[in-house]
């Protein structure tokens, strides 16, 4: 398949890395120039073209721009009715994309994260997309979401990634201060959570079950959890998500 990327930034680079070596022709736009050049140098199946060439040649085009840039540049590109368009942009609704990319009409929204380079990531999408399934269905889990508002709520939930990873980093940093081995400290903290995540994916456990297993009264986990709750951090998390929800107009 010829797979195009308009906007060659952080998330496009991760998707290109994920798709490289799978028999596709990967066409990336020339901005960001340094990222595009780096991808072309690292992967034989990557070519750097300008935006119109990416769009005119690709069977599937991923839109990886900031939304305000997309509003300025997309309408002038040579879209075709027989190609698929997949946007990863949080704040450009389908109705606007449909107008900007006409006559292309097979248009979907999805939410990749940079962990897609390792496979087994989750890709919520709306509407369901044969093109996305063809490209990532074997390596990753496609989650069709019934409504655009529901997909946008997944965008909000995807923003849990940085706060939770940052908390894990803080905890691993504290451990490293005690042991003097930061690599081992990160591996330990990551391993603890990987174990719980496996329990969910392999055994079907839910968060409540995992927390019950850590709720021994007066135990270390219960004590730290209560202290964190007293700071108001869980409420701040929900308030932050509500703020993002308002920003996305859900
Ligand atoms: N990062 C993530 O984890 C993530 C996850 C899901 C969705 N998203 C969404 O993906 C989009 C891109 O995010 P990002 O993190 O990849 O941002 P980014 O690294 O800033 O990438 C945006 C790219 O667009 C390029 N660009 C600007 N004007 C352009 C033009 N006229 N034609 C072609 N390309 C142009 C920029 O190039 P210059 O640097 O040369 O300006 C930059 O490389 C956003 O809408 C974001 O919400 C990101």
Picking from 6, 103, 89, the residue whose alpha carbon sits closest to that of residue 51 is 6
Q: How far is the CA of 240 from the centre of ligand 1 (A)?
A: 23
- Average pLDDT in the 174-187 region? 98
Identify the band that residue 250 occupies on the pLDDT scale cut at 50, 70 and 90: confident
CB 36 within 8 A of CB 58: no
Q: How far is the CA of 64 from the centre of ligand 1 (A)?
A: 5
Residue 65 structure tokens = 């721009």
Residue 105 lies in a domain: yes
88-130 pLDDT tens trace: 999 999 999 999 999 999 999 999 999 999 999 999 999 999 9
d(CA 237, CA 162): 12
Residue 118 structure tokens = 């390792």
Pocket test residue of 36, 49, 66, 67 for ligand 1, highest count of atoms within 8 A of CB? 66
Asked if 243 and 129 sit in the same domain, the reply is no
Task: List, in sequence order, every residue forming a beta bridge with 61; answer none if it has no partner.
Answer: 4, 85
- CATH number where 125 lies: 3.40.50.720
Pocket test residue of 8, 9, 29, 37 for ligand 1, highest count of atoms within 8 A of CB? 9
d(CA 202, CA 205): 8
Nearest CA to ligand 1 atom 35: 7
Residue 5 structure tokens = 């990327």
Asked if 180 and 92 sit in the same domain, the reply is no
Residue 10 domain boundaries: 2-145
Atom of ligand 1 nearest to the CA of 67: 45
CB 77 within 8 A of CB 91: no
Residue 224 lies in a domain: yes
Q: How far is the CA of 66 from the centre of ligand 1 (A)?
A: 5
Asked if 106 and 192 sit in the same domain, the reply is no
For residue 15, the model assigns a pLDDT of 98
Nearest CA to ligand 1 atom 21: 9
Residue 162 structure tokens = 């940085």
């Amino acid at each position: 398949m010829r797979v195009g990327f308009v906007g060659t930034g952080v998330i496009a680079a991760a998707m290109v890395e994920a798709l490289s070596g799978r028999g596709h022709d990967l066409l990336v736009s020339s901005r960001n120039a340094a990222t595009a050049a780096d991808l072309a140098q690292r992967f034989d199946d990557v070519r750097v073209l300008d935006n119109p060439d990416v769009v005119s040649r690709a069977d599937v085009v991923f839109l990886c721009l900031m939304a305000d840039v997309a509003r300025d540049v997309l309408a002038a590109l040579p879209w075709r009715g027989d190609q698929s368009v997949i946007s990863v942009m949080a704040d450009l609704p389908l109705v606007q994309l449909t107008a900007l990319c006409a006559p292309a009409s097979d248009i979907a929204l999805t939410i990749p994260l940079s962990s897609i380079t390792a496979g087994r990531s989750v890709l919520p999408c709306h509407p369901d997309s044969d093109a996305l399934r063809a490209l990532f269905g074997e390596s990753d889990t496609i989650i069709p979401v019934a409504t655009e508002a529901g997909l946008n709520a997944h965008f909000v939930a995807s923003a849990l990634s940085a706060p939770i990873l940052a908390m894990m980093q803080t905890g691993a940093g504290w451990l490293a201060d005690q042991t003097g081995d930061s690599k081992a400290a990160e591996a330990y903290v990551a391993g603890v959570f990987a174990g719980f995540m496996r329990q969910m994916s392999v055994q079907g456990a839910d968060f409540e079950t995992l927390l019950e297993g850590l709720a021994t009264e007066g135990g270390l986990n219960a004590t730290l959890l209560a202290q964190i709750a007293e700071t108001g951090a869980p409420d701040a998390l929900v308030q932050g998500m509500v703020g993002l929800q308002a920003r996305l107009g859900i």
